[in-house]
Amino acid sequence: MEKKLKPKVFGNHLLCDGPALKKFFRAMRITVLCFFLGLAQVWAVESYAQMTKLSMKLDNKPLEQVLKFIEDESDFFFLYNRDLIDVEQEVTVDARNKTIKTILDDVLEGTDISYAVFDRQIVLTNTNLINAMVAQQRSISGKVTDANGLPLPGVTVVVKGTTQGTITNVDGNFTIVNIPENATLQFSFVGMQTQEIVVVDQTTINVIMLEDAIGIEEVVAIGYGSQKRVNVIGSVSQISSGNLKERPVTQLSNILAGQMSGVTVIQRSGKPGETNSSLRIRGVGSFGASPNALVLVDGLPTDRYDNINPNDIETISVLKDASTAAIYGARAANGVVLITTKKGKEGKFSVRYDGRAGVSVPTELPKMANSWEYAEMMNIAMGAKVYSEEDIAKFKSGADIDNYPNTNWFNEVFKNGTQQDHNISLTGGTQANKYFASFNYLNQTGIVDENGYDRYSFRLNTESMLGKKVKLSTIISGIQEKKYEPVGPGDLGQMNTVEQIITNTVRIPSIYASRYTNGEYGSGLETFGTPVSWIGSESFLNKPEWYGKINARLDWTPFNNLTVSAIGGYSFSLLEWIRYKGSQVLNSDYTLKSSNLYQDRDKEIYKTMQYTAEYLKDIKWHQIKILAGYSFENQVNDYLNGYRLNFATNTYTVLDMGGETDQVAGGNITEWALQSLFGRLNYNYKQKYLMESTVRYDGSSRFPATMRYAFFPSVAVGWRISEEDFLKEGFAWISNLKLKASAGVLGNQNIGNYPYQATYASGWAYPIGDQLSTGISYTTYTDPNIHWESTRTMDIGIESGFFDQKLTFNVSYFDRHTSDILYAPSSSVSSVIGVGIGSTNTGEAKNKGWEFEVGHRSKFGDFSYNLNGNLSIINNEVVTLGVGNIEQPNGMVGNGSDLFIGFPMQMYYGYKSDGVFLDQDDIDTWANQSQITPNPQAGDIRYMDISGPEGIPDGKVSSEYDRTYLGSMIPKYTFSFNLGTSYKNLDLGVFLQGVAGVKGMLNNYAGYAFSNDGSIQQWMINGRFNPENPVRYPEYPRLQVFSNTIPPNYVTSDFWILNASYLRLKNVQLGYSFPKNITNPLGVDYLRMYCSGENLFTYKSYRKGWDPEINTGGAYYPIMSTFTVGVNVQF
């Protein structure tokens, strides 16, 4: 029975549907195609076309059937324009053991079709058209390249509105003749954005084609494989290397912020090498186990993805629903992030350098009071003349800076940070052997002296054909990091990190000197020095880290459509922490004599073996793909630490040089393993009706033997309405329309190692007779039946594209319900039985929401643009705490602090307020709040009486009845907007990102005046309650001085809860790509220079001087704005 050839049309191209072509587009990116076509002939080796011989006999058959036969029996595939080539004409062929050239010469003899063989690709052209064009006089020529400057062969170039055209040759060059006046040339290529250029009076036109990142033929990475975007029915978001390049950020999580719907990234620090970012996918899934997503780099899991060199990344895929994530079972409840690094490309040896340098400054810094403002405000806060008028005058005069200084601590401590990043990548190879290598050096210096980050990394990715049916892929990578920062001297119990030093830069008042006029350090608040002396000391914190990974993958294709793979992975990390707090002479009056050294070392070894088999079968209109696999993973952590005091000198900072008294040593070894079976079935009928089912059976050593194994299934269905005839005929402007739905169960095993095992402690007394004897006892009762947290997910969505994908719109609704959340009951429960209660599977939570994505792109002559935006709406809610449920007097049920049934996690629980008291009459007529504020005064916060024992206000403000929900730190809305434009050789990109429906809070030194002898910020002075001019709603209540006991005005209330919503101008980038007439004489394939800015402006209503992503009362490091210039050059 003959198979009917099923053509697939992409723009003006028609590609015959053969197994080789399907396999090609499934496995390779379009850039590999460019190398494959353009550079194969460079190598002086016998080509596939010369080696391959075929036998066939067909009489009077359509040409397309002959082409189909050749594709089925070989790796050849054909590319041609259906408007120019008649594939319905009948031909005859009789060949025995002949080369492809001999066969085509025979088949095409007497036709108007000519051909060109580029190794496995065969391009058919119309002989008459080419001859007619050659006969003409006027011509236009040029070269077509990709974004990296590499030539693109096979690009169709036509005069718009006609059939007149040509294709580019192996060098990307083209010539087209007899061009009418005011003609428009159209350039199209599979997987690339079609471009149109008005000729006018040009005789040379060079074109740079960009990948069609939103095309339905985009290949998307999924678990243990990849799929065409058009066939994906789960919720997957993907960004490619084009979205990552040239951003002046060094941490991968910051690049992801705002790039994809449903993905929330909150950056809490601008510290070099560390951002303390949280990465959440579709909300926060647990308040017991870790809510972090599973991150895999080339198939190996990692907790430290931020140190990956962004230049090495090809794609980042985020699996958000059960149908895509269930293949990872017990670790996928909070989503999965797949990072795929770049692979080698067939072609000539190519070298690329990417470099940039820039400076960083804080996005926000609070304005602090100067010395005389501080003195005046202190007098008001104390209600006494702590500082006389004479003292204040001396502060203002600046005549005696030793005793009456006016120190601007930000100027003394902070400087501009710097950044330089250098990357060299090498790529090339033959059909049998391809390679990609990179070398990277990154250096960052912080805004504080002695603070910085260095990273060295390398990568070598190779692919080798071991015969015709076996391919070996290897990935070897290594990273060395060094993080360093200042700490305080040994006499200080705190100042153990640079964040604590920066916080004290906010805390210490300007009335203290950084240095005296004789050059000695100032004594500071408690005569332990100041941030300036701590930075200048010989104390330090060094954190060297080493990482290494090896992946090896062997793919065997015993026959067409079946691939059997064996994958081995090994990763190693060694992290050290060396903190020395030395002695220091501050000045002639004070010497800090204590010293101590703390050192730890954490070694981690991870190993995995995975085996998969994938089978693909086409049966007429049916396509079936089956994946089955087994994996085993094992990880061992070996930790040790040591601590010593009293070093004789700061010169020798090794443990052996410390004193022998009070020395401490410790360590432990932990191990876990995971064994899994998994499978996936994909089915589609006519590329129209889609189904996918995934299963995984996991066994984890972290759980007791009876609860060790669990089953995680999922199912998804989809309908490509755009493939229905009724839509094709009546609505041709709809290029893609797909309905999809999925459901499944995912697990979370991020609970630590063996929490079901009880531990003992000594020192317990037991009565034996009439005496007490010392023994051991349980310290915590544990649950012997602890098991996975489980998340049931449901997802429905619509994907749509219009006008040849120039306009796209996608929407999804999701519902995630997590049960069996691990939670330990509060102390009120454990106090009943006398010992602590360990975690048990008792809680539930849910996340529901919507995701919207919209995109538009177009081109007008030399100007092109693309617009993309996304919006996520996430509603987080605690369903129950199970045995941890405690009903509060006000009727709310929860733990009494931040978890309550019916409200989001990470909530603020406190009092409602209504401004401040204006006078005594105001106090007398207000509800009695003496339980909170025993002696209220004018300027104190008025707390609202919202309930009482009967459920209605009772005239009293109490902690039992009048605290309530004040907001959550989890954003309800996340959104972004991305604009990319280009005009000739100029390109401009603008990226905005933001969150809304989120609360934050600044307390202690960050939010309160005179906290623990601290300073006061300018907004507090300007917005304070002034009894001489009282207002109901000041920004700050009456000034108070306090140390360890927090005054009533500073208990948690909505007076202090801030709107942390913001819209940030995240990135602006302007670049210029030099034209070929400049680069070619230099022997350069591609040259681009650019300038870029990160975190340039933030629209917010947060506290003045504070970035809305900073949510702290203690140690912090400002978020950075970064300005860079860079260059990309390829040879």
Same domain, 196 and 107: yes
Please report, as a single letter, which amino acid is at residue 670: T
Q: What pLDDT does 25 receive?
A: 35
Q: What pLDDT does 777 receive?
A: 67
- Residue of 841, 834, 836 whose CA lies nearest to 826: 836
- Mean pLDDT, range 486-495, rounded to an integer: 90
Mean of the per-residue pLDDT values for the chain? 88
Same domain, 178 and 125: yes
**Cβ atoms of 907 and 900 closer than 8 Å:** yes
Q: What pLDDT does 832 receive?
A: 52
Last residue of a domain, one of 346, 362, 382: 346
Overall number of domains in the chain: 3
Confidence of residue 29 (pLDDT cuts 50, 70, 90): very low
Same domain, 264 and 318: yes
**Cβ atoms of 879 and 845 closer than 8 Å:** yes
**Residue pLDDT, tens place only, 853-883:** 999 999 888 899 999 999 999 999 999 999 8
Based on its alpha-carbon atoms, the radius of gyration of the chain, rounded to whole angstroms, reads: 34
CATH number, domain containing residue 254: 2.170.130.10
Tell me, yes or no, whether 216 lies in a domain: no
**Residue pLDDT, tens place only, 725-754:** 888 888 889 999 999 999 999 999 888 888
Same domain, 191 and 307: no
The torsion angles phi and psi of 37, rounded to 5 degrees, stand at -80, -40
- Residue of 1025, 1059, 1055 whose CA lies nearest to 912: 1055
Same domain, 195 and 291: no
Same domain, 946 and 899: yes
Q: What pLDDT does 94 receive?
A: 87
Same domain, 110 and 180: yes
Please, which residues bridge with residue 559 across strands? 562
Q: How are strands ordered across the β-sheet holding 156-159?
A: 165-167, 156-159, 184-188, 195-198
Dmax (CA) for the chain in angstroms is 119
Q: What is the pTM of this model?
A: 0.81
d(CA 459, CA 953): 67
DSSP letter for 1088, please: E
Residue 1119, pLDDT > 80, answer yes
The parent domain of residue 314 ranges over 228-346
Tell me, yes or no, whether 542 lies in a domain: no
Tell me, yes or no, whether 1072 lies in a domain: no
- Residue appearing with tokens 């290529």: 189
CATH number, domain containing residue 168: 2.60.40.1120
d(CA 1104, CA 1131): 49
Tell me, yes or no, whether 378 lies in a domain: no
- Residue of 946, 980, 940, 976 whose CA lies nearest to 960: 946
Same domain, 204 and 234: no
**Cβ atoms of 1095 and 1120 closer than 8 Å:** yes
Q: What pLDDT does 148 receive?
A: 67
- CA distances (Å), origin 586, targets 450, 496, 533, 1107: 19, 18, 7, 34
Same domain, 145 and 251: no
d(CA 864, CA 857): 8
Q: Where are the beta strands (DSSP E) in 163-245?
A: 165-167, 173-177, 184-188, 195-198, 207-208, 219-222, 225-228, 236-240
Last residue of a domain, one of 296, 322, 346: 346
**Residue pLDDT, tens place only, 257-275:** 888 999 998 888 999 998 7
DSSP letter for 211, please: B
Residue 47, pLDDT > 60, answer no
Q: What pLDDT does 178 receive?
A: 78
**Cβ atoms of 405 and 512 closer than 8 Å:** yes
Same domain, 127 and 238: no
Tell me, yes or no, whether 437 lies in a domain: no
**Cβ atoms of 243 and 211 closer than 8 Å:** no
Same domain, 273 and 165: no
Last residue of a domain, one of 1014, 1040, 1066: 1040
DSSP letter for 204, please: B
Same domain, 93 and 234: no
d(CA 787, CA 792): 16
d(CA 624, CA 630): 21
Tell me, yes or no, whether 125 lies in a domain: yes
Q: What pLDDT does 193 receive?
A: 75
Tell me, yes or no, whether 824 lies in a domain: no
Q: What angle in degrees, to the nearest 10, is found between the helix axes of 63-73 and 19-27?
A: 60
> 3-state SS of the chain: helix, strand, coil percent to 5?
15, 45, 35
Tell me, yes or no, whether 858 lies in a domain: no
